[in-house]
Amino acid sequence: MKLSEALQEKKKQILSIWIDRTLNSYTSSDFFKRSQDHIANPVGANIRAGLTTVFELLLQEAAPEDYTTALDQVVRIRAVQDFTPSQAVVPFLELKWVVRQVLADDKKTSSLIQDLAKLECEIERVALAAFDIYTTCREQLHQVRVQELKSGSYILTDTPCVSSLLRERKKGPDNIN
Amino acid sequence: MAIVKVDKLAKSVAQGPSLMTGSYPTMDWMDVPAVFKPGNFAYPAKVDIVNYLNKQQGLHFPNAREWSPLDDDWKLPENWKEIIIDGLRERLDKFRSLKIFMDCCVRCGACADKCHFFLGTGDPKNMPVMRAELLRSIYRNDFTLAGKIFGKMAGAREMTVGVIKEWFMYSYQCTECRRCSVYCPYGIDTAEVTMMLRELLHLVGVGINWILEPVSNSNRTGNHMGLQPHTFKDNVSFLCDDIENLTGVKVEPTFNRKGAEILFITPSADVFAEPGLYTAMGYLLLFHHIGLDYTWSTYASEGGNFGLFTSNEVMKKLNAKMYAEAKRLGVKYIIGGECGHMWRVLHQYMDTMNGPADFLEVPKSPITGTMFDNTASTKMVHISEFTADLIKHGKLNIDKSRNDHVIPTWHDSCNPARAMGLLEEPRYILDHVVNRWHEMPENCIREQTYCCGSGTGLNTDEIMELRMRSGLPRANSVKYVHDKHGVNTLACVCAIDRATLTSLMNYWVPEVRVAGLSELVANSLVMEGEQRQELTDGLRTLL
Amino acid sequence: MKYIFPMAAVIALVLISWIGSKIPGMEYLFGVLVPYAAIATFIIGFCYRVVHWAKSPVPFKIPTTCGQQYSLPWIKHDKLEAPHTTSQVVARMFLEIVLFRSLWRNTKAEIHDGPKLTYESSKWLWLFGILFHYSFLVIVLRHMRLFLDPVPGPILVVEYIDSILQIGAPTLYMTDVTLVLGLLLLFGRRLINRQVRYLSLANDYFPLFLIFGIAATGILMRFFLRTDVDIVSIKRLAVGLVTFQPVILSEISSIFYIHLFLVSVLLAYFPYSKLMHLGGVFLSPTRNMANDTRIRRHINPWNPDIKPHSYAGYEDEFREFMVNNDIPVEKELPSKAD
């Protein structure tokens, strides 16, 4: 059996373990795993869809730029959750472990493990791409902050409002007209 | 070849307690402390602000001090426990809702997966039932027989500083959107619980600046933004200049004018912050179009009411300006602009708190003659009710094609949807001012609508990540219609939405903009004597 | 593991009443005194709790609207989901209490590969709830035959319908099956659904076990230990209890005393527990109030005396700016001295 065939055959199992492990990173992962509802369960559904696509792309040996949408689907969510940068992108590296585990568990495929170098290299590249997306997301988040300030909300805390007036009073009565 | 233990590797990479360690925490929820870190809490209120509020007639904001959620010691007053328990007792005696909601929950879990905070964070304490349990456990301990006898076995626990911290964390991770109360078989409304928690926290000097500073601004200058009368007027005048540049129509609104027929009040964000500005231009154009005899007020220049997010006393104090100003100016009734929580206050609280408005008349549209019987007592009409009536009677000269650059979807804002029932009026208007628009999936619109995730004074930038996660359910459903139908505009009737959904979209679905409904109405209006430029982007066109 | 203690508690209760009723002379305690004490606790506790609730006012009218408000005449008003008159509120409450409307609402949309969007409801909780509550109601009604002589027609009808399947002898009551099924499903849900398990407390499991105990002993009595049970004596005792002339004619089997004791515990426990949702559901302000707050003024009995920051105070502070910017004022600026 060739590696690509084995992966195709084990696709369901690999994905299932991989998605479960990724969703296990949430405190109450049960609902995220259980509900297939895209609208009611955005975290679970998007991560499921994103990881599935990434794996399919790996099987197809897709070009690097093809991964962007699927990676974004997963990373954009994790970039605003309570994760460190490494925690946010580690699921992609975990795929290496999952694939090895699944192949090793079956006598038919255990010998294929030595052929994994290329796939693992590819997975690492995907993880790095995910990290790029992570930083883009964070950058975007700060842009959003800046835009919010620019759009006028900042006046809430920095106009001649009570607090700044009080501040001025402290400076001395001459400053107030 | 040995299998690389990526599992272990990942564990060492990821220090977080949740990652790779399995799903639900094995510890009982009572044993999991709230942990604060930069980004997961809003800044505490400034001492000056709290002191200022404490000095106002009828308000009580004791124990002002410098403190930080990051510190172990929150410098609570010495008798904090007594204050909290007494405060809870007082509130149980004042609110039947609180007693019922404390006693009736059977923990069926119907609400659990309905909260956008839970859906975005996966934190079990964000399940509405758990948020209420945070208070219920204290209630059981001090106010019920079962709790006194069986203690923890009956779900009771001692009030500790840790509980205060937990309350602070989770009562400011709830936007009082009431989605959970729709699904609860007993109608238990977490908004009530959150309000009580916040009131109790204020008693020991624990509050956030993003709420209390707008409150004090609003008290003093009339609006959250702290705009003084001349600035407020100037801002509206700038909008009039823009309107003239765009359409050639000269709009001349009046301010604080006695004898006007109608007083118009809208959130101050509309006259100051993008994209609310375009909504304000919408009102100006619409009222000019029909020749309405109305006035703005600089004294009652805020429709919104952050008192709703603070305490019922503050809510009453801020809201009282509206009737006071209506009476002073001698208007017949009031029209309210597009705002979500403002309309919860106006619809459910205003008349009770500051009525009866016997000096006003039952609202009657001067253009169509329609009597707004549904507001016979409060005498305050929603702009969408008013506009829908105008359209129904054919009083607006509309060219839908002027909105062809927008493909909207409709976001029902929490409060107008679940505390008022304003569902069809905006849809009717939308039907008549744009050629095509698309609904989001059924379980996230109307009474089941998802919150923007930043309501109740959580629209501050220090908790941006939190806002992005709690807004994910909404953003995700917008993305769905964007991908499917090419929707490029999220239309709504809420000022907080306009500000915060814009940020939310910028992160999740940057192709989608946020627009107030009145902006879309005004886009489509054919004005008398107009010398309209080629407005490819409606009121947002840059000339 | 929060269910261990409640389970042990129910087993203990069974043992207490089993062993206790075997002790000569204790029949009177378990057959008469305990039931009276339990009923008294139930009635007093229930009334106390309802009065306790009623003592707090409803300061604000806060219905949760789940449909279109009453507004313009040509806009279709959703009378049941956003009622604005008392009769509409009654109708809404009827749906809520009798049909568990809110749990029924639990719909979900699914997006299948395709992509195809479909709607289906997630109504399991509703189904389990309905199954349990209605079975319980019918069983309570059926038991009324023990207390009333002659047995009223409606109760005979309920009984007839409940045993309409005519399976076995004595004929099987459908509600016995559905009650146990409902209990098992509700319990299973608390165990299997991790979310619900996480938020469940010991006092959520206790009533489930207790009612299960009641159902089990009842079923044993009717179908399996029938020969030990003297129905005539039971009926005499029951009628005696309600007419305040209790007599215990002959030795009644222990299983009966266990059953009766568990029922007593349930009654006594009721007012101090979440089971009070039976009363609370009628009083929930988000459901039992009309969405008419702009039409009729709702009165808050403790409406505090709070005045707004006055216009005069506002104008005093900003008068100069206002005058300079042609905003009308009440009092002009004082004329300058020089």
Is the CB of B472 less than 8 angstroms away from the CB of A145? no
> What is the number of alpha carbons within 13 Å of residue A76 lying toward its C-beta?
22
pLDDT-based confidence at C115, cuts 50/70/90? very low
Which residue of chain C is at minimal alpha-carbon distance from B370?
C72
Inspect the interface and report whether the beta carbons of A147 and B508 lie closer than 8 Å. Answer: no
Contact map slice: C 189-208 vs B, CB within 8 A:
193-196, 198-204
Which pLDDT score is estimated for A152?
63
In angstroms, what separates the C-alpha of C285 from chain B's closest C-alpha?
Answer: 6
For residue range A41-76, what is the model confidence (pLDDT) as tens digits?
Answer: 888 888 899 999 999 999 998 888 899 999 999 999
Q: How far apart are CA C190 and CA B51, in angstroms?
A: 48
Q: What's the pLDDT score for residue C117? A: 41
Q: Do A39 and B40 touch (CB under 8 A)?
A: no
**Ranges A26-30, C204-208, C263-267: which has the least confidence:** A26-30
**What integer best gives the mean pLDDT of chain B?**
91
Q: Do C111 and A40 touch (CB under 8 A)?
A: no
Distance from CA of A127 to the nearest CA of C (A): 26
Predicted confidence at residue A171, as pLDDT, reads: 47
Q: Which of B35, B42, B38, B36 is nearest to B454 (CA)?
A: B42
Assess whether pLDDT exceeds 70 at residue B210. yes
User: Using the beta-carbon criterion (under 8 Å), do B187 and C61 form an inter-chain contact?
Assistant: no
Question: Where do the domains of chain A lie?
Answer: 3-149
Provide the whole-model pTM. 0.88
Closest CA of chain A from C107, distance in Å:
10
Average pLDDT, chain A: 81
**Token pair listed for A95:** 């795929």
| Whether pLDDT at B13 is above 60 | no
Chain B positions in Cβ-Cβ contact with residue C45 (cut-off 8 Å) = none
Per DSSP, which regions of B341-481 are E strands?
380-382, 408-410
Q: Looking at domain C4-283, what is its CATH homologous superfamily?
A: Transmembrane di-heme cytochromes, Chain C (1.20.950.20)
Query: For residue B423, what pLDDT band results from cuts at 50, 70 and 90?
Result: very high
| Interface chains of chain B (3 or more CB pairs under 8 Å) | A, C
Q: Check B258 against C328: CB less than 8 A apart.
A: yes
Instruction: Return the structure tokens found at C193.
Output: 């659904």
Name chain B contacts of A171, Cβ cutoff 8 Å. Answer: none
* Out of A28, A30, A40, closest to residue C108 by CB: A40
Residues of C in contact with A39 (CB under 8 A): 108-109, 111
| Residue C198 to residue A28, Cβ atoms within 8 A | yes
Q: What is the mean pLDDT of residues B196-200?
A: 96
Closest chain B residue by Cα to residue A147: B503
Q: B-C interface: how many C-beta pairs under 8 angstroms? A: 313
Residues 454-513 of B with CB under 8 A from A: 459, 461, 464-465, 468-469, 472-473, 475-477, 480, 499, 502-503, 506-508
Check CB contact under 8 Å for C108 and A45: no
Query: How confident is the model at residue A168, as a pLDDT?
Result: 47
* C1 burial via Cβ count (<10 Å: 0-12, 13-18, 19+): exposed
Residue A26 near chain B (CB below 8 Å): yes
Preferred mutation among A83, A94, A156, A170 to probe B, highest tally of B CBs within 10 A: A156
- Considering only CB atoms, which chain C residues are within 8 Å of B133? 199
Phi, psi angle pair for B492, to nearest 5°? -160, 170
Tell me if chain B has a CB within 8 Å of the CB of A151: yes
Please report residues of B whose CB lies closer than 8 A to that of C281.
104, 185-186
Q: Say whether A27 and B226 touch across the interface (CB within 8 A).
A: no
Of the spans A82-91, A145-154, B289-298, B451-460, which averages the highest pLDDT?
B289-298
Residue B20 has pLDDT above 80, yes or no: no
CB C289 within 8 A of CB C61: yes
pLDDT band at A153 (very low <50, low <70, confident <90, very high): low
What is the percent of chain A where pLDDT is above 90? Answer: 24
DSSP state of C228: G
DSSP-derived 3-state class of residue C120: strand
| Rounded Cα gap, residues B277 and C222, in angstroms | 75
B489 alpha carbon, distance to own chain's centre: 20
Maximum Cα interatomic distance, chain C, rounded to a whole number of Å = 114
Q: Would you call C195 and A31 a contact, using CB atoms and an 8 Å cutoff?
A: yes
Q: Which chains touch C (3 or more CB pairs under 8 A)?
A: A, B
Per the CB < 8 Å rule, is C193 touching A30? yes
Helix (H, G, I), strand (E, B) or coil at B263: strand
What number is the average pLDDT over the span A100-106? Answer: 87
Average pLDDT over residues B2-8: 42
Q: In chain C, whose CA is at the least distance from the CA of A49?
A: C113
Residue B193 is predicted with a pLDDT of 95
Q: Are C250 and C237 in contact (CB under 8 A)?
A: no
**Per-residue pLDDT at B25:** 57
**Cα dihedral B133, B134, B140, B143 in deg (nearest 10):** -130
The pLDDT of residue A41: 81
How far is residue A79's CA from residue A72's CA, in Å, rounded to a whole number? 10
Write down the pLDDT at residue C122: 66
Q: How far is C320 from chain A (nearest CA, A)?
A: 10
Contact (CB<8Å) C304/B23: no
Using the predicted structure, report yes or no on whether residue A155 has a pLDDT greater than 90: no
Contact (CB<8Å) C324/B230: yes
Listed by number, the residues of chain C in 266-325 with a beta carbon closer than 8 Å to a beta carbon of chain B are: 272-274, 276-277, 280-281, 283-287, 291, 293-300, 302-311, 314-315, 317-318, 321-322, 324-325
Residue B255 DSSP symbol:
B
B210 with A46: Cβ contact below 8 A: no
- CA distance linking residue C278 with residue B103, whole number of Å: 11
Average pLDDT over residues B25-39: 82
Residue B511 has pLDDT above 90, yes or no: yes
Instruction: Give contacts of A40 with chain B, Cβ < 8 Å.
Output: 113, 119, 443-444, 473
Contact partners, residue B358, CB within 8 Å, separation at least 6: none
Do B127 and C300 lie within an 8 Å CB cutoff?
A: no
Amino acid occupying residue A39: I
Closest CA to B380 of B426, B348, B414, B424: B348
Strand partners, B333: B262
Under the banding of pLDDT at 50, 70 and 90, the label for residue A175 is very low
Cβ distance A37 to C194 less than 8 Å, yes or no, reads no
The residues facing C119 across adjacent strands are: C109
| Least confident interval from A126-130, B453-457, C224-228 | C224-228
Rounded-to-integer distance, Cα C76 and Cα C56, Å: 36
A37:C109 CB<8 A: yes
Contact call for residues B520 and A157 (beta carbons, < 8 A) = no
- State the average pLDDT over residues A92-120: 87
The size of the A-C interface in CB pairs under 8 A is 23
Domain boundaries, chain C: 4-283, 309-338
Please choose, from the candidates C143, A15, C283, A17, the residue with its C-alpha nearest in 3D space to the C-alpha of residue B100.
C283
Q: Cα–Cα distances in Å, from B284 out to B250, B271, B427, C172, C185?
A: 10, 11, 21, 74, 59
- Percent of chain C having pLDDT more than 70? 94
Confidence bin at C338 (pLDDT 50/70/90): low
Question: Over the stretch B239-277, which tens digit does the pLDDT of each residue have?
Answer: 999 999 999 999 999 999 999 999 999 999 899 888 899
Please name the member of B57, B104, B112 whose beta carbon is closest to the beta carbon of C276.
B104
pLDDT(B129) > 50: yes
Residues on chain A touching B440 (C-beta within 8 angstroms): 39
Q: Which residue of C has its CA nearest to A31?
A: C195
Token pair 């490819």 is found at: B536
Q: In angstroms, what separates the C-alpha of C203 from chain A's closest C-alpha?
A: 23
Q: CA of C111 to nearest chain A CA: how many angstroms apart?
A: 6
Average pLDDT over residues C67-92: 94
- Which residues of chain C does B107 touch, with a Cβ-Cβ cutoff of 8 Å? 196, 199-201, 204, 274
A40 vs C contacts (CB less than 8 Å)? 108-109
Q: Is C194 on the interface with A (CB under 8 A)?
A: yes
Mean pLDDT of chain C: 87
DSSP of C51-106: HHHHHS---S--PPP-SPPS-STTSPP-TTTS--SHHHHHHHHHHHHHH-HHHHT-
Q: Does residue C69 sit at the B interface (CB-CB below 8 Å)? A: yes
Higher pLDDT, B378 or C154: B378
Query: Which residues, in sequence order, are CB contacts of A133 under 8 Å at separation 6+?
Result: A68, A71, A72, A75, A76
Tell me the average pLDDT across B104-114: 89
Q: What is the ipTM of this complex?
A: 0.89
Taking phi over 0 as left and psi of -120 to 50 as alpha, with beta for the rest, A102 belongs to alpha
The answer, yes or no, to whether the previous bond of C170 is cis (omega within 30 of 0) is yes
Total count of residues recorded for chain A? 177
Other Cβ atoms within 10 Å of C169 Cβ, number: 8
Rounded CA-CA distance B335/C135 in Å is 52
- Hey, of C62, C77, C276, which one would you mutate to test binding to chain B, going by the most B CBs within 10 A of its CB? C62
Residue C159 banded pLDDT, cuts 50, 70, 90: confident
